[in-house]
Amino acid sequence: MSDKSGMQNYNRTRVLTLIGTIMTQLALGSVYTWSLFNGQLSEKLGEPVSRVALTFGILSLCLALASSVAGKLQERFGVRTVTIAAGLLMAAGFALTAHSDNVLMLYISAGVLVGLADGAGYLLTLTNCVKWFPERKGLISACSIGAYGLGSLLFKFVCGHLLATEGLQNTFMIWGGIAMVMVIAGAMMMKDAPKQETADVTREENSLNDNTNDTRDFTLAEAIRAPQYWMLALMFLTACMSGLYVIGVAKDIGQSLVRLDALTAANAVTVIAIANLSGRLVLGVLSDKIQRIRVISIAQIVSLAGMSVMLFTQMNEMMFFLSVACVAFSFGGTITVYPSLVSDFFGLNNMTKNYGLLYLGFGIGSIFASLVASLFGGFAVTFSIITVLLIVSLVLSATIRLPNKSEAGHSTLQHV
């Protein structure tokens, strides 16, 4: 009877954690509505839109930086405390944004503070929730990261309505309040996942063919000595570089390369949102059915198809929307599958730390693509570099092997 009661409590706790994580991710995903505010902030501050838009780049970088230390924060304070702090910091950042009267203050409030809050809450709650469901890692990643993507869609309407009825300053205050309440309410439902039992991998049968196998447990120090870690890092950076760049300039691609009018080109935002969310759900669920590294290969092929259309064809309207949808689908699926993929290679117990460092590729990839585009001008060079990196990444995903923990640091590979 006690075993049955204990299992019921365990299942209740992890379901509540999942619900709380989804609620939190919905609120954190709201930052992807930022483009709605560029025009009005530009007018208020008397700055060009390009300088105001840089705020989101700073936010993305700080998000990635905060994600990289989320594991240490959880170890010291626990998932609930850190998530509550993230909600409070996010509200404070938006409150300061509402009263920003110069672009530097905007960078600090919306870029740094909101970015740090979002990053700490995002990766921490995601990986903690995945640890509660080791038998359904792909599905849980899809639910959590899908909620993050859905949050951008929901808050697009919420923030759009608030801007029309309440004005810029009040919108930031209300937005921050709503996000804070959702994050804190979600945090109160969460508990830290129990430590997983591990054992060294010594047999070829313990391979990526079994997506529920969690017999490896690398510390971050051990993981970074394995060449596979940096192979995964390059693949992740490439996916983020292609996805974030195309998502950020999709409207401009439509107007410049396809000669679409502004209103039609803006429909790319909706196409991307739907494709991004679809990639998270479809590839996330698929990753529980087949090897996760093979799901990444599928995502790379889809992204390559989209980039090839942009680079080598004279796009019409339909091909334009199809190509950006391919890239967005691939990006959404990749960032959904990657936390569980990292745990396949390096274990569940240190997943937050091991994935956190690798997640820096999110910020680096977004900035690197923008730098390439600004240095060389136009889209052709950036598309070419991304295409080459995607080909390299596809080769890596097809040839990568599990690391052997007992000989980590000695470049010994285990066949998949």
Q: pLDDT for 240-291, tens place per residue? A: 988 888 877 777 788 778 888 877 876 777 788 888 888 988 998 898 889 9
The mean-pLDDT minimum among 13-27, 93-107, 132-146, 301-315 falls in 132-146
pLDDT tier, 314 (very low <50, low <70, confident <90, very high otherwise):
confident
pLDDT tens per residue, range 391-410: 999 999 999 998 876 545 44
Q: Is 291 left (phi over 0), alpha (psi -120 to 50) or beta?
A: beta
Domains assigned to the chain: 9-189 (1.20.1250.20), 220-399 (1.20.1250.20)
Sequence-distant (≥ 6) Cβ neighbours of residue 406 within 8 angstroms: 200, 201, 202
What average pLDDT does this structure show over 312-331? 91
User: Closest by alpha carbon to 56, among 133, 109, 12, 123?
Assistant: 109
Whether 368 and 64 have beta carbons less than 8 Å apart is answered as no
What's residue 142's pLDDT? 82
**Maximum separation of any 2 CA atoms in the chain, in Å:** 69
Indicate whether 131 pLDDT > 90.
no
What average pLDDT does this structure show over 347-375? 81
What's residue 193's pLDDT? 87
Say how far apart CA 348 and CA 128 lie, in whole Å: 9
User: Closest by alpha carbon to 83, among 110, 58, 119?
Assistant: 119
What's the chain's average pLDDT? 84
Place of tokens 């993305």: 60
Return the SS3 of 287.
coil
What's residue 411's pLDDT? 42
Prediction pTM value: 0.75
Partners of 414 in beta bridges: 402
Return the SS3 of 413.
strand
What average pLDDT does this structure show over 343-363? 85
Indicate whether 103 pLDDT > 70.
yes
What's residue 137's pLDDT? 79
More reliable by pLDDT, 264 or 177: 177
Amino acid at 166: E
What average pLDDT does this structure show over 176-205? 78
Indicate whether 191 pLDDT > 60.
yes
Q: How many residues does the chain have?
A: 416
First-to-last alpha carbon distance for the chain, in angstroms, is 42
Q: Quick one: 3 exposed, middle or buried, by C-beta within 10 A (0-12, 13-18, 19+)?
A: exposed
Query: Helix 168-188 and helix 137-166: axis angle, to 10°?
Result: 150
Indicate whether 196 pLDDT > 70.
no
Whether 172 and 186 have beta carbons less than 8 Å apart is answered as no
Amino acid at 197: E
Q: How far is CA 191 from CA 19, 214, 339, in A?
A: 12, 21, 19
pLDDT tier, 179 (very low <50, low <70, confident <90, very high otherwise):
very high
Indicate whether 329 pLDDT > 90.
yes
What's residue 99's pLDDT? 93
